[in-house]
Amino acid sequence: MSTKLNECFAACGPLLLTVVSGMTFGYSAVLIPQLQTVNNTNSTNVIRINREEASWVASLAVLPMAAGTLIGGILIQKYGRKTTHLIMCLPFSMGWAVMYFAINLEMLLTGRFITGLCSGILTPATGVYIGETSEPKYRGVLLGGVALSVSMGLLLSHVIGTFFTWQTTALITSTIPILSLFLMLLVPESPAWLIQKGRADTATRAFEWLRGRSDDANRELQEMLARQKNMENNHDDNGLKEMLRKEFLKPMGLLIVFFITSQWTGVNAVNFYSVTLMKQTLDNVNEYLATFVIDCIRLGASIVSCVLLRRVGRRPLILTGGLGTILSLFTLSAFIYITKYLSVSSRTISIIPLLSLVVYTFFVTAGFVSLPWNLLGELIPLKQRSTGSGVASCIAYLSIFSVVKTMPEMFEVIGPEGTFLVYGMMGLIGTVFIYCCLPETRGKTLDEIEEYFSGATEKR
């Protein structure tokens, strides 16, 4: 195979597991309505839930994701990026199997917890592995595949869950991690991790399998080896001191603020409660059909994002996505307010909320929420990449949990119009922050990005 195909093949296993993570996000959207409107009187495995229990079914998968990212950061540093993926395939499959066999709420929540934990552990592993095994000109596209895979997972879970029971959906999903296991057995470990562990010969073979032996590839390999040697010569056992350096603190601060503000645009609340949300927000529209349309828009936006990442860079895509997200959320908030308090019939302008949700889904997926995960594999320096990616991912998932858990209460207290207004304001804060602070990383090697944050190069 060509080196380009090798890089793509190496990404397939992690991306397939990311599809399962996307299904973990989307599963509750079809699960909760089925559990709240149980009509299968012939089944002995009927689980009924109320509104409070529904919020836990949705959010419990997210809480262990936060803890999982910290565990993942430790695993990818100690055992490697590839090995971490291999370790997690069977537990991921078992979590879905537990939900398939669930006969009560406790078993269902246990399965949600396991799948959430596995998703969290794999989050830093996937971004770091793909970032370290791809060359600069393809790295943006392949990292963009992470968001694309999540979108595919959401669509698959909603489509399968629409036509089959939640048990069958869980059973089908449980087979996917096994396929990923076989794919991961065929690809090498991350060369950057191998170099960091002093296994230069193995790293060279892995790098050449991925990138070939061209002059550019050889130059990048020699730079990686030289940088590791320099790090060893200047080794400092004070880990805290290393984490207080600006080349670590600057990208970490940027990622943390970006994750919090982007997640508080409400995208995962929409993912988790999509069917219920459509029913509450849209009049005279089939909520399952509307959810399917939104899923297709999300998938299309992810594809557009992958294409544009190589052509226009990160900053323009994020800023455009942020602007579209803000405008669509403010429009949706205004529509709901007008129809609710100003006695304007929603039938006369019923297309506006669906159109706003479509525009929102496109822009938030194409640029604003997917890009932080791409940057996770680019901005953090190699020496702290495992720890930093784990911490940043943990904060991201805590943000997701807070949004998903509070959305039903926010709808009750301040209404949908107030909820979407809050999400829009957070999007505005995040967009302004990115405009002021994020450098462009397109076309730069990971070493060049690290040098930028250390102050060794001028901003371009």
Asked if residue 232 belongs to a domain, the reply is no
**Amino acid 460: pLDDT:** 44
Tell me if residue 244 falls in helix, strand or coil. coil
Distances (CA, A) of 104 to 45, 99, 143, 165: 7, 10, 38, 15
Q: Name the pTM for this structure.
A: 0.79
Sequence-ordered list of residues with C-beta below 8 angstroms from that of 293, at least 6 positions apart, any chain = 354, 358
Question: Within a domain: residue 210?
Answer: no
The token duo for 298 is: 């999300």
Instruction: Check if the beta carbon of residue 115 is closer than 8 Å to that of residue 92.
Output: yes
β strands within 408-455, DSSP E = none
Length of the chain: 460
**Tokens 């730069």 -> residue:** 444
| pLDDT value at residue 41 | 46
- H helices of 175-313, in order, are 176-184, 191-196, 200-211, 215-233, 239-243, 246-263, 267-272, 274-281, 287-312
With the C-alpha atoms ordered 303, 307, 310, 312, is the resulting torsion angle positive or negative? negative
- Find where tokens 């957070």 sit: 426
Cβ burial 221-252 (10 Å sphere, 16+ → b, else e)? beebbebbeeeeeeeeeeeeebeeeebbebbb
| Domain assignment present for 237 | no
User: Is 121 strand, coil or helix?
Assistant: helix
62/51 Cα distance (integer angstroms): 18
**Count of structural domains, the chain:** 1
Q: Report the distance separating Cα 449 and Cα 117, nearest Å.
A: 31
Give domain status of residue 403, yes or no.
yes
Buried b (16+ CB within 10 A) or exposed e, 51-70: eebbbbbbbbbbbbbbbbbb
CATH number at residue 331: 1.20.1250.20
Cβ distance 4 to 138 under 8 Å? Answer: yes
* All residues at 6 or more sequence positions from 205 whose CB lies less than 8 Å from its CB, including other chains: 188
Give the span between the Cα atoms of 271 and 265, in whole angstroms: 12
Q: Is residue 207 part of a domain?
A: no
What pLDDT shows up at residue 424? 95
DSSP element (H, E) containing 170: helix 166-174
Q: How far is CA 325 from the centre of its chain?
A: 17
Q: Which structural domain range is residue 339 located in?
A: 3-187+242-454
Q: Are 36 and 85 in contact (CB under 8 A)?
A: no
Q: Closest Cα partner for 389 from 372, 403, 402? A: 372
Question: Looking at the domain assignment, is residue 194 inside a domain?
Answer: no
Amino acid at 418: G
57 in any annotated domain: yes
The Cα–Cα gap between 79 and 14 comes to 16
CB of 81 closer than 8 Å to CB of 189: yes
pLDDT at 183: 96
Element (H, E) at 237: none
Sign of the CA dihedral 211, 12, 297, 57?
negative
Q: Phi and psi at residue 412, in whole multiples of 5°?
A: -70, -45
Domain-embedded: residue 368? yes
Q: Degrees (nearest 5) of the Cα angle 334, 340, 343? A: 105
> Tens-of-pLDDT digits for all 460 residues of the chain?
567 889 999 999 999 999 999 999 888 888 888 887 655 444 444 777 777 787 788 778 888 988 999 999 899 989 999 999 999 999 999 999 999 998 888 999 999 999 999 999 999 899 889 988 988 888 888 888 888 899 899 889 989 988 888 899 999 999 999 999 999 999 999 998 998 888 989 999 999 999 888 887 888 888 888 877 776 666 555 556 667 778 888 999 999 999 999 999 988 777 666 666 666 666 666 666 777 887 888 888 888 888 888 788 889 999 999 999 999 999 989 988 887 777 666 565 667 777 888 899 899 988 888 888 888 878 888 778 888 888 888 898 889 888 888 888 888 899 888 999 999 999 999 999 999 999 888 878 877 888 888 776 554 4
Q: Single out the residue of 174, 211, 20 nearest to residue 95, CA to CA.
A: 174
